[in-house]
Chains A and B, each alone.
Chain A
Amino acid sequence: MPVVDGVELPETPLLDELEKGPWPSFVKEIKRAAIEQEKAMKAGKKIKLPGSAKGLLKVLELAYKEKRTHWKHGGIVSVIGYGGGVIGRYCDLEDKVPEVWHFHTIRVNMPAGWFYTTKALRALCDAWEKWGSGLTNFHGSTGDIILLGTRTEHLQPMANALAYLDKFYGSPAPFDIGGSGSDLRTPSCCMGPSLCEFACYDTLKACYEFTMRYQNELHRPMWPYKFKIKCAGCPNDCIASKARADFAIIGTWKDEIQIDQEAVREYAKVIDIEEHVVKKCPTKAISWDGKELKIDNKNCIRCMHCINVMPKALKPGKERGATILIGGKAPFVDGAIIGWVAVPFIPENELIEKCCEILEAIWEWWDEEGKFRERVGELIWRKGMDEFLKVIGQKADVRMVYAPRNNPFIFWRELNP
């Protein structure tokens, strides 16, 4: 058995291969946790899950050898007052690797924009060193902080540690649990106005407001399936909300792109504006005569390309707001969907309230009509876009389609009640 720093590690010839190479290694991370956990214990620190990282190494090495997972579905585990946020996970090698027989995940609601202080992170680390495996994901794909692996009996104390992280561990704020199961998943957003000049609305504020207003929906699964909200500040959609969120809020604008001609001329000294900008505009809305850049704003589709290339010279217009796309999801079950337009434009100052109205209307409808494990997008397919538009009180708009339908099989429901 290899011994590192006085700590015996299991033989992991296959995993060891993944310590090599320039990219940071997750195997090194697991080994480090195994070693330091044991050292911390010897030094007298309280560690409730000794040997867990070492156990994970054993299980994972076996998975690599046998080319299959050794995790089993969890059944229901939870903490007091919550229906979601904890993912039950058991190992099918309980007799061989009892250290990780239970290895549940806790999803922790990250701050909007993933901003941290070291004080908060250290507090999270101290609590998780004591009550869990010491392993994390920063972050899970939905955006939560993932605390990877603890036993059932430690879930409640860890949840309490998070809820009192300020008091017990010196964090600037306590941390709450995120979503899982058939509930509202933890909303997420791009960094928006905190760092990015393209943001057409305050994505962090919107994300925080939704999270706070819908704590009940987030923590108590009661819907047909999951529901995701993501806030992107502009059509670049850096958080891939169109693909991943049932309800994607994409910042945009209606009036003219703001141009600083002097700055354009500065760019012209370093790049070929014709090549980099004019030719790449999908609607050929830009012209450049070597002195002045003109944009045909009636033709511009607000795709962001020219702004991306010349951020010093171009800015989204001043009449800002957002487009709501509905229904985005992964392939399971009815195939992948990229969210499609439900509301073409909501002005910035009405955005949060209007979104809440629409969300609540959707949820009520989905709750009533949705089948078990039917995402909202799939329900809209089943019931029809016309019914959905009625639900959200939205009139049809040509901006909702690339082209009108190509069949006349229209459901004239009003004539055939």
Chain B
Amino acid sequence: MVAQEVEKEPEETVQPKTDFGPPHYEIMMHPIIKKNYGKWKYHEAVRPGVIKRVAESGDVLYVVRFGSPRLLSIYTIRDICDIADKYSDGYLRFTSRHNVEFFLTDPDKIEPLIQEVQEKLGFPCGGTRDTTNARYCLSNIIHTQGWVHCHTPATDASGIVKSVMDELYDYFVDYKLPAQCRISLACCANMCGAVHASDISMVGVHRKVPKIDDDAVRRTCEIPSTVAACPTGALKPDMKRKTVVLDKDKCMYCGNCYTMCPGMPIFDPENDGVAILVAGKVSDARYPPQLSKVVVPWLPNNPPRWPEVVQTVKKILETWATHAEKYERIAEWIHRIGWEKFFELTGLDFTEKLIDDYRRTPYIYASYRTSAAFRW
């Protein structure tokens, strides 16, 4: 057989280059943004999804925001580009919460743009706020990879997000909330997203210790590094049997060992699931930043649409939205009404699982009440 000359691609013959860094941000900035950089005077909400920005120079820019599913095919990105070319002079930006924004100078183009995006992409316009009038849209859910791409998830990410946003769609496209509400999801307790300081978060949780397959451990794992990976010291080497042994009382089901050693899978279809946390925030506005608190320790994984999770999130959101005062985020609302009232109004169960017993946390006692000043 004659050896075939495979033709090389240019990318395969070129000299690799390193450490040249990302494109400078000015290269791809809309000319009006570049011109008025650092010289914006004020902004105002035009309608849900549209913010008018006025510069000291008198220039005006309408920033129009659309929710995306985060996971995008390049074919959809090309469609997004077509729209940006047509309406936005070929410029666009993405937000930290997976929204895409176009820049318009002509307010008459806003409606046609929204129409065209809805038709061609199916992306809804919304996700902004009118702080002056205390009217807020729900923003997009920040989330992680889940079953689409990660090895340690206790639940999927995109599927739950899609299901929750389908249910809360009206809150995204309209001002229906009294204050900001950030929802986020992480598919395991590593929490790649900022879910530990969100108004409502969903977190994938494992509940069973990893299943040690001694044979697979022997074949595929380096025992010292597996033992070292365990943050709680739950693993000990068993040198005689060339495997590891696990202390069930110390394990926090984090899956770190599985990352090092495929011989001890952590996933468990019937026992993995989703915990719900509430009342986190990061801005300083009115009330200091807060960590989110667990209010539902576990809900089952029920794909494709996770009805239990969707209904719980909706219940919390709607209870808060009906009872909160203007500008009162979930943390502030609960601070005013008390946790007693929160559990009463939402109908969620308070159980022993919600009392902190994670001893590694140095401020474990900080959440214990030290007064008898109760609401009944």
Contact = CB atoms under 8 A, between A and B. Distances in A.
A5 B42 CA distance: 49
A399 interface: no
A238 B96 contact: yes
B229 to A, nearest CB: 8
A216 B18 CA distance: 10
Contacts of B163: 18, 21
Max chain B C-beta neighbours (<10 A), residue from A176, A243, A276? A243
A338 B22 contact: no
Contact of B162 (A18, A194, A338): A18
A128 B21 contact: no
A121 B304 contact: no
Contact of A219 (B18, B72, B153, B232): B18
Contact of A81 (B18, B169, B303): B18
B231 A110 contact: no
Given A235-B285, A276-B327, A18 B304 contact: yes
Contact of B23 (A111, A129, A148, A219): A111
B131 to A, nearest CB: 5
A112 B14 CA distance: 28
A297 interface: no
B342 interface: no
Interface stretch (B121-129, B207-215, B345-353): B121-129
A9 interface: no
A240 B326 contact: no
B43 interface: yes
Contacts of B303: 14, 64, 67
Interface in A238-297: 238-244, 267, 270-271, 275-276, 280-282
A118 B326 CA distance: 40
A381 B262 CA distance: 32
B166 A172 contact: no
Nearest to B172: A23
Interface stretch (B33-41, B107-115, B239-247, B315-323): B33-41
B234 interface: no
Given A15-B304, A125-B78, 8 more contacts: A18-B304, A21-B163, A73-B258, A105-B149, A115-B93, A124-B74, A237-B289, A330-B194
B47 interface: no
A7 to B, nearest CB: 13
B5 interface: no
Contact of A331 (B80, B95, B191): B191
B284 A18 contact: no
The size class of the interface chain A forms with chain B is: 35 or more
Contacts of B358: 335
B283 A236 contact: yes
B11 A271 contact: no
A163 B280 CA distance: 40
A179 B53 CA distance: 33
Interface in B35-83: 37-38, 40-44, 53, 61, 63, 67-78, 80-82
A99 interface: no
The size class of the interface chain B forms with chain A is: 35 or more
B269 interface: yes
Interface string B1-15: 000000001111010
Max chain B C-beta neighbours (<10 A), residue from A53, A70, A175, A244? A244
Given A30-B73, A135-B73, A113 B25 contact: yes
A159 interface: yes
Contacts of A334: 360-362
B189 interface: yes
B284 A302 contact: yes
Q: Chain B contact residues: over half helix, strand or loop, or mixed? A: loop
Contact of A173 (B24, B63, B96, B270): B24
Interface of A: 14-15, 17-18, 20-30, 32-33, 36, 46, 53, 56, 60, 63-64, 66-74, 79-82, 89, 103, 105, 109-122, 124-125, 128-129, 131, 134-139, 141-143, 148-149, 156-161, 163-164, 168, 172-176, 188, 190-191, 193-197, 199, 202, 204, 208, 211-212, 215-216, 219, 235-244, 267, 270-271, 275-276, 280-282, 301-305, 308-312, 330-336, 338, 372-373, 381
B289 A211 contact: no
B246 to A, nearest CB: 17
Given A14-B304, A172-B27, A243 B282 contact: yes
A163 to B, nearest CB: 4
Given A32-B76, A125-B77, A235-B283, A115 B29 contact: yes
26 contacts: A22-B124, A24-B122, A63-B156, A67-B270, A68-B268, A69-B147, A69-B152, A71-B151, A81-B19, A113-B25, A118-B90, A125-B74, A141-B142, A160-B11, A160-B14, A174-B17, A208-B22, A208-B24, A236-B283, A238-B283, A239-B96, A244-B194, A304-B283, A309-B132, A336-B291, A336-B292
A195 B53 contact: yes
B92 A116 contact: yes
B132 to A, nearest CB: 6
Contact of A115 (B16, B28, B70): B28
B312 interface: no
Given A18-B304, A122-B81, A125-B77, A197 B40 contact: yes
Nearest to A19: B162
A235 B284 contact: yes
A136 B74 contact: yes
Contact of B22 (A20, A157, A211, A309): A211
Max chain B C-beta neighbours (<10 A), residue from A23, A24, A197? A23
A240 to B, nearest CB: 4
A306 to B, nearest CB: 9
